[in-house]
Amino acid sequence: MSGMSLFTPLSWNDTGFILTGVWNTVIISVLAIAVGSMLGVIIGFIRAESGKFLNMVLGSLLDILRSVPLIIQLILFSTFIGAMGHPISPFAAGSIVLSLYTMAFMGEVFRSGFESVPHSMNIAARSLGLTAWQTIYHIRFPIGLRSVFPSWLGVALSVIKDSALVSVIGYMELLRTSEQLISRTQQPLAILVGIGIFYFVISYPLSMFGKRIERKMAA
Amino acid sequence: MDYQFHWNTVFQNMPEMLQGAFVTLHVSVLSMLIGTGIAVLLAVAKMNNLKFFSQIAIAWVEVARNTPALFQIYMAYFGLGAFGIHLSPYVAVLSALIFINAGYLAETFRGGFLSIPKTQYSASKSLGMSTFQAYRYIILPQMFRRVYHPMTNQFVWSILMSSLGILVGMSELSGETQRLQSLSFRTLEFFIVAAVLYYLITKLVLLSSMLISRKLFRGEI
């Protein structure tokens, strides 16, 4: 046995495996950001419009999602579904939890956006003969949504990074892929640096872009 | 729904859960304290004219902000092994949290520094203060007042993110929960209690931060 290694070094054959991880990270992030944003717009609009009581109830429910670590939410949800006798795939469980988590943060972002639209615009639009729905669609949505673009981008970027946690319930995203490669190759540094560069290359330009837009809006 | 909840085991193990919660709390407090210290240096370095220092600060801040926390923890736990540095799970999570907190807070502090008029600095200089005194008595107190709320948020974030310790076998609240549930297989019950504990801890932190801010900034905010 001497001279034979239990570990095989990293090779080009692993490219497909890594790309699957990359793809899975991208797909679950995009899904969670899309679904979370759509739900967040609805939640944000309801919170901006509703009275004190409903606002408080909704706010404290969403606050739970923001006050319990994502990793605990993931484990709880997938165990709960399993215990109820309807086990679902890690991808499905991960997408649901990550989308709801995203929704909780996006709701706050969009609420502040809708609240930033002055009430007088509403009145002006109605007095010009727009219906209530037209006012929402042509006035409040475009103005409210545009003003929060930098914050939206910030939340979206943090979702991409948080998607790494879905690995805990067995979803083969990028970081879990790398972990398996590490245990086979015993080359943690090279692999981890590669993974870090991947996240950085996605996140850094977008965060710079967000900052530039923010500066433009402030000016 | 044919799942039978059994809470007894969880309540019997409550002391260990609370011990885990205590570890969670003190790893976050420590990471905030050290992170704040480094962040002040990074913020000052970033505004420095010396290219060398500002480049290091920029690199630190951007890497911390643009990579996942889990990546930082893996880097500290597995990655540093390549250099012969083997950290315990506690130290690995602590150093990753310090790294991230310092990066995020540096940006916050830089904003805080920039919001303080330059005249404050010249005024303290003209009163005969040294640079250190000007920062210690004039600039920093005002800066910390302005960044107090973002700092509280960062603290809560640290508490939540310390839960990643579960993945490297650290015995904070999540790791402890994981260990205890593996002994009894009451997974659901244990993690529900863990979620409640996390919720309570964050609320406790927010409440005490509010009380402290009242004491610190009496009549000013």
Give contacts of A188 with chain B, Cβ < 8 Å.
74, 78-79, 81-82
The CATH number that domain A16-218 falls under is: 1.10.3720.10
Structural domain boundaries in chain A: 16-218
Chain A: closest CA distance from residue B11 (Å)? 18
Least confident interval from A1-10, A129-138, B131-140: A1-10
Do A68 and B67 count as a contact with CB atoms less than 8 A apart?
A: no
- Average of per-residue pLDDT across A86-113: 95
Q: Which residue of B has its CA nearest to A78?
A: B188
A90 near A169, Cβ under 8 Å?
yes
- Give A-chain residues touching B161 at CB under 8 angstroms: 69
H-type alpha helices, B47-139: 51-66, 69-77, 89-114, 118-126, 131-133
Q: Please tell me the distance from the alpha carbon of residue A47 to that of residue A114, in angstroms, as a whole number.
A: 9
pLDDT at A5 over 80: no
pTM: 0.90
Q: In chain A, what residues touch B187 (CB-CB under 8 Å)?
A: 75, 79, 83
Q: Compute the distance between CA of residue A18 and CA of residue B132 in angstroms, rounded to an integer.
A: 51
How far apart are the C-alpha atoms of B41 and B61, rounded to whole Å?
Answer: 12
Is residue A50 very low, low, confident or very high in pLDDT (cuts 50, 70, 90)?
A: confident
A183-192 tens-digit pLDDT: 888 888 888 9
Distance (Å) from the alpha carbon of B177 to chain A's nearest alpha carbon: 10
DSSP string, chain A: -TT--S-----GGGHHHHHHHHHHHHHHHHHHHHHHHHHHHHHHHHHHHS-HHHHHHHHHHHHHHHHS-HHHHHHHHHHHHHHTT----HHHHHHHHHHHHHHHHHHHHHHHHHHTS-HHHHHHHHHTT--HHHIIIIIIHHHHHHHTHHHHHHHHHHHHHHGGGGGGGT---HHHHHHHHHHHH--HHHHHHHHHHHHHHHHHHHHHHHHHHHHHHH-
Give the model's confidence band at A6: pLDDT under 50 very low, under 70 low, under 90 confident, else very high: low
In chain B, what residues touch A80 (CB-CB under 8 Å)? 188
Helix (H, G, I), strand (E, B) or coil at B55: helix
State the smallest CA–CA distance between residue A49 and chain B in angstroms: 26
Domains of chain B: 16-216 (1.10.3720.10)
Give this complex's ipTM. 0.88
Q: Do A207 and B65 touch (CB under 8 A)?
A: yes
pLDDT digits (tens, 9 = 90+) for A150-184: 999 999 999 999 999 999 998 988 988 888 888 88
pLDDT of residue A4: 60
Sequential pLDDT tens for chain B (221 residues): 677 888 888 889 999 999 999 999 999 999 999 999 999 999 999 887 888 899 999 999 999 999 999 999 999 998 888 888 899 999 999 999 999 999 999 999 999 999 999 899 899 999 999 989 998 899 988 888 899 999 999 999 999 999 999 999 899 999 999 999 888 888 899 999 999 999 999 999 999 999 998 888 876 64
CB contact under 8 A, A72 and B70: no
**Chain A contacts in chain B segment 51-110 (CB below 8 A):** 62-63, 65-71, 74-75, 78-79, 81-83
Q: Is the pLDDT of residue A1 over 70?
A: no
Chain A contact set for B163 (CB, 8 A): 69, 71-72
- CB-based contact (8 Å) between B156 and chain A? yes
Minimal Cα–Cα distance from B186 to chain A, Å? 10
Which residues of A lie closer than 8 Å to B, measured between beta carbons? 64, 67-73, 75-76, 79-80, 83-85, 157, 161-162, 164-165, 167-168, 175, 178-179, 182, 187-189, 192-193, 195-196, 199-200, 203-204, 207
**Which pLDDT score, from 0 to 100, does residue B219 have?**
60
* Tokens coding A122: 């509403």
| Structure-token match 């974030």, residue found | B157
